[in-house]
Structure 1
Amino acid sequence: MATKGPPIIKGRKIKTNDNSNKQEVVEEENLGSIIAQLITTEGEVTGPPLSLPANVTPEQLELLINQLLNNDEHLPYAFSVDGREIAATLYKDIIQGLKRSTEDVLKIVYQPQAIFKVRAVTRCSSTLTGHSDAILSVSFSPDGTQLATGSGDSTVRIWDINTDTPHYTCSGHNSWVLCISWSPDGKSLASGSMDKTVRLWDPETGKPIGEPLKGHSQWITCLAWEPLHLNPKCNRLASSSKDGTIRIWDTKLRRVLFTISQHTAAITCIKWGGNGLLYSASRDKMIKVWDSTQGKLVRTLEGHGHWVNTMALSTDFVLRTGAIDHTGKKPKDENEAKEWALTRYKAATGNKPERLVSGSDDFTMFIWEPSESKKPIARLTGHQKLVNHASFSPNGNMFASASFDNSVKLWDGLTGRFIASLRGHVGPVYQVCWSSDSRLLISASKDSTLKIWDLKTKKIKIDLPGHLDEVYSVDWSPSGEKVASGGKDRQLKIWRN
């Protein structure tokens, strides 16, 4: 294969008033053609090798891939070579940017993007007061119509986000509420507290559902519901504690089904996977994988040299939203809900194993396929301090990590390859959250600000100051319309576009 030779770059010099010479914008001509092969993120070849103009744009590639795939409607795609996204032209970003030869056969990886687009929030529409201590957790319901907060004042509050007013104050805990979690059908809200109990609330009335669930001997660290497509009744909840145990509760019968107690230190995080496996991370440096039906240990994932602080699943977003997609359409009954949730889960995984990312006090992360192997896909280094939080993009193509080194880092969701560092915060970053179209990321920091990052440019898109102190928690509504944040200043802020 041969091109027409090196590019001829023509430029004209122009005179200015100060007699200085300036080069006009260069006109690139005669760039020739490049042989390219389009492939999926999994490495599957699509169509034959193609001879493309070197200055082909992403828009032109999008038209081409839609034709090759015979799509009935035009779908958006992103294109990259060796991890470098084609943003302007193939020539500028890959031949010049990666110093690739025009004689190479380029493997262009294409990834489908969300059909809908989320606009970045730009302003604080409401500052809601009411909590008398720090807000430790903020969470939208699966359909995005309700918002809950857990606070150091021992209460859970449910807010009406259409009118930006407090809806219910749920009182009953007698110590800090450390974590809250919506059931995937949105009909129950669970809260875990330093008082060693788990409580369930009815979000329609704000009243407690029965007595507190007691059994743990130390405070509750994390909560996880069984996914909707595995159990449309949504009556099984897992709680982890500083006492090193996990308890699986039947929330309807209000009793413990079984207790898991093989960790030798406090459990920091649990996730309930869409394949029926339960994952737990602990201060004993281990991640354990459990069969959620009987509580049997499936495998132990080892590699971290210090406490494991956080975990994220590539399917977190679809497991959280259950049967509700971006259209907001609701199922008629449990069977339809289960069917829709299963369809969404299968689409998110592509019939591949779900991936797990773990972050630790040892400054590193690992990416795993825990249902298949106890060996990690990759060990990820680069952070200079502990990794506090990790989160997968809704499409599973990327994940972000937040660290006490004031940075957010982006990684490839399949291989764990490093993509970029997002710098701008001047304090530790506590939490990150993705927009539902996977194009934007928001981060919350000790420096009292939130920042929205554009994943295309890998730069700050919008800076959101306004909090008076550290921002502990942030959540982006599944519909993409609103962001909620809370922190040490006891204020809940609602941000809109």
Structure 2
Amino acid sequence: MASPFQVQKITTLTGHRDCVYTLERAPEPQKFFSAGADGLVVQWDLSQPENGELVARVSSSVYALKYVPEQNWLLIGHNHNSLEVLDLAAKAIVKTIPLPAAAAIFDIHYSWERRQIFLALGDGTLAVVGLEKLDVQKVVRFSEKSVRCLALHPSGKEMAVGLSDHRILVLDLETLAVKQTLAGHTGSVFTVAYTPDRNYLLSGSRDAHLRVWDVTQHYQEHTSVIAHLFTLNHITFSPNGRLFATCSMDKSVKVWDAQTFKLLKVIDKARHAGHGTSVNKLFWSGHWNQLVSCSDDRSIAVWALTLKEI
């Protein structure tokens, strides 16, 4: 079946001096943040993509960023056993929160209702930081291996946790008790994401599989797809929730139908002058529906997806 989309590479953003690991939304819809192994946190403007603005510099690799609109903060997680809180209005780091273990922060999520930040840590623990006092409230160990990724269910009652020991845990957000353990992946689980309609949990792993779990049926496995040749690094949804994209160590980005979980488009080096090495993270902007990808090749690519004329 022919793809309904045309893909055009809009621009390549350069300036990072090492691998780019993460992307995150910014206050304005046309802007986003990037960070990576060089410790630089940069803000980009899709309407003027030539010039990135350096907003922070930290002492080690940054694996995770999280924007908190309620406070206009950017949370910066790096592998130097602390969480940095950047006040975007003041353009200054207002708090450095030391963590109990010298472990990398691989993912950050937060619940404004609960006033809590959740950190996925490389030592197999989940740390909970209070948004009010910015202090560590709780640390729970779930594995001897890393906690790699987190996803909060839109209901605000549970959270999916992906581990390097191949498991996904579904936690009660109130108690952090394990409600369910999802087994199926045969490699580290690097990304988990709930569908906007709340009905499914998607997961991707070092085993290159995309797995879909039916939330309405106690997380029974709905389908499994060999999505990439190598590690599936990240999953993100389009602004309207009808599509999602995956990226991989195989250098490609793929676009899927969020209803049928069928592959619609492959974006790669051969066909679209894509990345030359692992694609680590995606950001799907509401600004002209542009898809942004970052890579170990130190670059960030901006893609336009348009429906073909019938």
Q: TM-score range by the shorter chain?
A: 0.7 to 0.9
Aligned residue number for residue 310 of structure 1: 191
Is 1:427 the counterpart of 2:276 in the alignment? yes
- Residue number among 145, 152, 174 corresponding to 1:293 in the alignment: 174
Deviations 1:220-262 (A, max 9, x none): 1111121x5x45xxx3211111101111110322222322322
What is aligned with 2:222? 377
Structure 1 moving runs of 4+ over 4 Å = 83-87, 131-135, 157-169, 437-440, 442-449
Cα offset, 1:374, TM superposition: 2.6
Query: Which of the numbers 239, 260, 273 marks the counterpart of 1:394?
Result: 239
Q: Return the letter of the residue paired with 2:56.
A: C
Amino acid at match of 2:307: K
CA spacing shift, 1:314–1:143, aligned 2, 3 Å: farther
Residue by residue, what CA displacement relative to the aligned partner does 1:426-482 show, whole Å, maximum 9, x if unpaired?
A: 734513433428965444456667362535349xxxxxxxxxxxxxxxxxxxxxxxx
Residues 129-165 of structure 1: per-residue CA shift (max 9 Å, x gap): 5x66554434331433765443434454557889887
Q: Which residue of 2 is the match for residue 272 of structure 1?
A: 152
Pairs within 5 Å for 1:29-44: none
In the alignment, which residue of structure 2 is the partner of 1:197? Answer: 82
Determine if contact 1:196/1:216 at 8 Å carries over to the other structure: yes
- Quote the offset at 1:289 in angstroms: 1.0
What does 1:151-166 correspond to in 2, within 5 Å? 151-157=36-42
Distance 1:434 1:147, change over 3 A: closer
Task: Please say if residues 192 and 203 of structure 2, whose CA atoms lie closer than 8 Å, have aligned partners that are also in contact.
Answer: yes
CA 437–139 in structure 1, closer or farther in 2 if over 3 Å, else same: closer
Distance (Å, rounded) in 2 between the aligned partners of 1:382 and 1:162: 32
Higher relative contact order (CA 8 A, sep 6+): 2
* Alignment map for 1:82-93 (pairs within 5 Å): none
Specify the alignment match of 2:131 in structure 1: 251
In 1, Cα distance between the equivalents of 2:35 and 2:140?
26
Provide the residue aligned with 2:67 in structure 1: 182
Q: Is the 8 A contact 2:101 2:123 kept in 1?
A: yes
Give the TM-score normalised by the residue count of structure 1.
0.52
2:28 to 136, 139, 143: 143
8 Å CA contact 1:300, 1:374 repeated in 2: no
**1:359 aligned onto 2:213:** no
The change in CA–CA distance for 1:409 and 1:289 in structure 2 (over 3 A counts) is same
- Answer with 1 or 2: which has the greater Rg: 1
Give the structure-2-normalised TM-score. Answer: 0.80
Any residues of structure 2 matched to 1:315-334 within 5 Å, and which? 315=196
Distance, in Å, in 1 between the alignment partners of 2:284 and 2:146 is 28
Which residue of structure 1 aligns with residue 286 of structure 2? 436
Q: Displacement of 1:279 after TM fit? A: 1.4
Structure 1 or 2: more helix by fraction: 1
Which shifted more, 299-308 or 429-438? Answer: 429-438
- String of CA shifts for 1:168-206, please: whole Å, max 9, x gaps: 6535x4322222111142511111111111111211112
Equivalent position amino acid for 1:174 in 2? S
Q: Describe how 1:81-160 pairs up with structure 2 within 5 A.
A: 122=10, 134-144=19-29, 147-157=32-42
* Unaligned 5+ runs, structure 2: none
The separation in 2 between residues aligned to 1:161 and 1:452, in whole angstroms, is 11
Which structure has more strand as a fraction of its residues?
2
Structure-2 separation of matches of 1:261 and 1:137: 25
Aligned pair partner of 2:305 in 438, 450, 454:
454
Hey, what does 1:405 align to over in structure 2? 250
Q: Percent identical across equivalent pairs?
A: 21
State how many pairs are aligned: 300
**Are residues 313 and 123 of structure 1, via their aligned partners in 2, closer, same or farther at CA, if it must alter by over 3 Å?**
same
Asked whether the 8 Å contact 1:313–1:392 carries over to 2, the reply is: no
Change in 2 beyond 3 A, CA 1:189/1:244: same
Taking only aligned residues, the RMSD between alpha carbons, in angstroms, comes to 3.6
